Chains A and B, each alone.
Chain A
Amino acid sequence: MTPATPQRLLDPHFVSKLARLDLRARLVVEGFLTGLHKSPYHGFSVEFAEHRQYMPGDPLRHLDWKVLAKSDRKYLKQYEEETNLRATLLIDTSASMAYSSHGISKLDYARQLAASLAYLMLRQKDAVGLFAFASGRGELIPPRSTPSHLRQLLVLLERLQAAGGTDFASSLHALAERVKQRGLVIILSDLLDDPERIAGAIHHFRHRKHEVLVFHVLDPQEVSFHFEREATYIDLESGERVTTRPQELRGDYRTQVRAWMDRLREFCIEKQADYVSVTTDLPYDRALLEYLSKRARLL
């Protein structure tokens, strides 16, 4: 696997495309910073954006008196408003995330997606944290909004290794207890665990008033099972062995996977979490833009 670098993780072309969209938080977040959308609070980190000619009825408090004094013209000052968000990225580092059928593993894909989201949020002065978890272990960087925080996040992302089983529910339950302030929880995982337990963990976050966004990362082969030759298939986590002809089971396999994904989606809807299924052959920008567009429509 090619080692990931911060530069590669933050592809400028990719980031510039994201910069044209705003990530619009759906929840009203308690915090120090003020969001402008539906929030009852007004934040104070307001940046000047441009002038606009005064029209009768506009509030006088935004009138630029200095311009009026110099040129005897009435202009209003306009400001760029930002949402104050506290987001935590949860990356699954279990052994199954190492699977790759066409060069990029699920962990690589999740790593780059997480870095992109972190950059986007920090650019908007949002606080971003990171929690990498696998069975029996986890590493947490608490959310911060300082620009230097990005470097810390990227370093951790870079050294993540896929290993061990997924004890998805336990890890998330533990994290839910540790994150006190409400915010956005973004999960990047292949969700290879009992859907009921996953639903329980999501419910835990929702119970703590967090907004949950699930990126279900899968390899295309996991969805299509497009193997040709008869072979022995060994599970990456449990080591189970199954010898079969792919063409014999392909249809039923796809049906099962589709049902499993539908079930996860239904659980997420039920818990008022957002569920986005991506495969590692999808471009990052496309996945993010689709998601953000969908969020924009929902708001």
Chain B
Amino acid sequence: MSSFSFLNPGFLWALPLAAIPVLIHFLSKRKLPEVRFPTVMFLRALEPREIRRLRLRELLLLILRTLAVIFLVCAFARPSVEPKGATTRAAACVAVLIDDSESMGALDEQARPRIEGAKARALAVVDAARPGDEIAVTTTTAPDAPLTGRAGDRVRLERIVRQATPAWVPGRMEQTLERVRRFLAKSPLRSRELYMLSDFQARELTPAAREKLTAISRLGARVYYAPLVTSRVPNHAIEDLDPELRPGPQGKGLEMRTRLVNHADSPSDRIAVRARRGDALIGGGDVTLQAEEARWTSLPIEWRNGSAETSSPVIVESDVDALPADDRWYTVLGAPRRLRILRVFESRGAPPSKFTALALDPLQDGSSGYAVESGTPASLLSLSRSRSDVVLLEDIASLSGDAESRIRAFLREGGGLVVALGPHADPDYYGRHFFPGIVDLAIEGLERPAEGQAFEVRARTPAHPILEGLSVNVGSPLTQARLTGIVRGRTTSPRAEAVVSTTGGLPVVVAGAQVAVFLGSLSDDWGDLPYSGAFVPLVRGLVDYAARAPSSSLGDRSYVGRPPAARLDTAPAGAVLVRGPESYRSQAQVVSDGAGFRAVADAPATVPGFYVFEAGGRDAATVAVNVDPVESDLRPIDLDSLRARSADPTKPFITLASLRTHLRETRQGRELWLFFLTTAAVILAAELLVGSARILA
């Protein structure tokens, strides 16, 4: 129940001033001047009609003047009311959650980093703390840091808040909320509050994080949201980069492939992407992206071969926009080399199909960037990662157990696999024996269209890297190709993705980790695909994808927040030290990893940049560490969906002023002096109006 009080009750002694209008009224009535006048007869005629109205008006004026004085005095006495649910009387346990993730470095509507707004709000909460309150400040990137306790330690709390800066790592909202929940649950205070100061990125507030919020609400805590932004800010980002250079069009020059993404509801402006080695500009280009488009883009690179330049740190930058952290990508470009493909087919008395070999290496000299080696299934027994990057199984009926084992080991070593089925492939073998553990794809048998009909295909996942070089629009070569048979398959988990399918929904191309499966035939046994313009880019896309697909080990990208790791070809002589930007120093542990060794730093990388592994006094490897672009999409979540989960939803504080007003009202009560002052002004205005109405008339 609300309670009413005055913060300056001393002013109430002035209330007798309300009697002044009454005194003036009666004093003015006591002695009136007398005027001798000839035409009093006209006044006498008017008086009976007017007298009642005059007396009523005088009474009304008297009441209005008295009320005006009362309200004016009350305004100076600072009336205050304690709103429902407020904690002005009792101490509270308050948790302040500051989102200091990477996205908080983006600029807000006032062109300041969002974190500055969060800090201002956090300071307001800390400043409003009363003696006896328990208050904790935590950040989303360091939920494990110790929480602070009493409000009396305000200086330390404010220092923590002021030291908050946007981190280079994604926030860990779920863990942070769990930590907050435990803090609030442990407090003996009945009144509990959580202030979430964040840009409320949709991707950060995962279902698990929302569950934590619900759990906090169940503790009886009131959750207050202070969003730093209210709408989505367009942002583009460099998401990935292929460190291996590829031959350019027609085998001329070199290209570097960069994956760009446009997180916006509208097409991007022209984005300038530039690559530099040291201070030297070595390549780049301009890119325009559609709304929500993510695309691999090939940029021409000038690369001089030389023994000292076989691998070199390169920085790729795009135009800076809302979030500068994701507009730069560090990479160590390797010396350009051809992709080594082991093409495996079975000799069945007839010459093997030439389509695949022509698509990959038409001149058979490696100038296309693909070095194709042909072999039978028996050659798989000597399969080695040092000799091949990708294995292409083309219309193989089945494999021996040894060959199969060798392929699985090859995949573990980071190799890639492309499986093209065909009329001779045994669906039962692939479905039951080969694919399990390699790709989550169930095989159900052959599928033929009706007599005289053919399958039409369409892109199921248009932005997939396999389709990078393909046009997937209606009327493009891909959609005009006709398939007369496919192996009927079905993905069994999200890890396997149907990239191309028939118009009836049957998968034609399926992508898994390091593995691409073509459920048709790469020869002309099942349709005219090899003759279409889509064949060459599709085959190259399958091979590129399998070669580039991230492996579970060394192929991982190095991101800030994780320990840098490097592959070493030889065993290091002595301890391995890691040097990085901003005085980063760490030791590294070396483990055996397949054919080589893997060194992993003890400390996580703190900032993006190049980290050098030293062994025996010389540089053994250089790795690039980047910012995880997972926070690039600045789309905020719909706060109503969060508030709906709370039993007692609170109003979001869009501005700092609204938060301060809320704090003042909940800590000191809602002050009503402005209301009283305004009311007094309105009453005085009414008094003037009533007093002058007759005169004006």
Contacts and interface: CB of A to CB of B under 8 A. Distances in A.
A196 to B, nearest CB: 15
A256 interface: yes
Interface string A220-242: 01100001011111111110111
Contact of B40 (A219, A227, A240, A260): A240
Nearest to A95: B38
Interface string A250-264: 011100110010000
Interface in B26-51: 28, 32-47, 49-50
Interface residues of A, number: 33
Contacts of B54: 244-245, 248
10 contacts: A99-B36, A219-B38, A222-B37, A240-B41, A248-B694, A251-B694, A253-B46, A256-B42, A256-B45, A256-B46
Contact of A247 (B37, B38, B47, B695): B695
A296 interface: no
Contacts of B37: 99, 221-222, 233-236
A220 to B, nearest CB: 12
Given A240-B40, A242-B40, A248-B54, A234 B35 contact: yes
B40 A249 contact: no
A83 interface: no
B697 A240 contact: no
B40 A234 contact: yes
A242 B33 contact: no
Given A229-B33, A243-B32, A252-B50, A257 B39 contact: yes
Given A99-B38, A192-B39, A256-B42, 19 more contacts: A190-B38, A222-B39, A230-B32, A232-B32, A232-B33, A233-B34, A234-B40, A235-B37, A238-B40, A240-B40, A241-B40, A242-B40, A243-B32, A244-B43, A248-B50, A248-B54, A253-B43, A256-B45, A257-B39
A287 B34 CA distance: 32
A230 B24 CA distance: 14
B181 to A, nearest CB: 72
A67 B266 CA distance: 119
Contacts of A260: 42
A191 B36 CA distance: 18
A116 B35 CA distance: 32
A244 B34 CA distance: 11
A231 B36 CA distance: 10
Contacts of B694: 247-248, 251
A106 B39 CA distance: 13
Interface in A186-240: 190, 192, 219, 221-222, 227, 229-238, 240
A248 B50 CA distance: 8
Q: Which 9 pairs between the two chains have the least Cβ-Cβ distance?
A: A235-B40, A96-B38, A242-B43, A231-B33, A256-B42, A99-B38, A233-B37, A231-B35, A232-B34
Contact of A227 (B35, B44, B46): B35
A237 B43 CA distance: 15
A61 B251 CA distance: 144
A237 B38 contact: yes
A229 B119 CA distance: 64
Interface residues of B, number: 23
A222 B32 contact: no
Contact of B50 (A99, A234, A249, A257): A249
A261 to B, nearest CB: 11
A96 B46 CA distance: 20
B49 to A, nearest CB: 8
B253 to A, nearest CB: 97
A193 to B, nearest CB: 11
A109 to B, nearest CB: 14
Contacts of B36: 99, 233-236
B42 A257 contact: yes
A227 B695 CA distance: 12
Contacts of A241: 40
Given A99-B38, A235-B40, A251-B697, A242 B32 contact: no
Contacts of B38: 96, 99, 190, 192, 219, 222, 235-237
Interface in B181-219: none
B548 to A, nearest CB: 94
B553 to A, nearest CB: 98
B42 to A, nearest CB: 5
A195 to B, nearest CB: 12
B47 A242 contact: yes
Contacts of A257: 39, 42
Interface string A102-134: 000000000000000000000000000000000
A253 B28 CA distance: 24
A233 B697 contact: no
A234 B39 contact: no
A249 B697 CA distance: 11
B34 A242 contact: no
A249 B43 contact: yes
A49 to B, nearest CB: 48
B166 to A, nearest CB: 70
Given A96-B38, A233-B37, A249 B46 contact: yes
B271 to A, nearest CB: 76
Nearest to B697: A251
Contacts of A235: 36-38, 40-41
A163 to B, nearest CB: 14
Contacts of A240: 40-41, 44
B691 to A, nearest CB: 10
A233 B37 CA distance: 6
A234 B40 CA distance: 7
Contacts of A243: 32
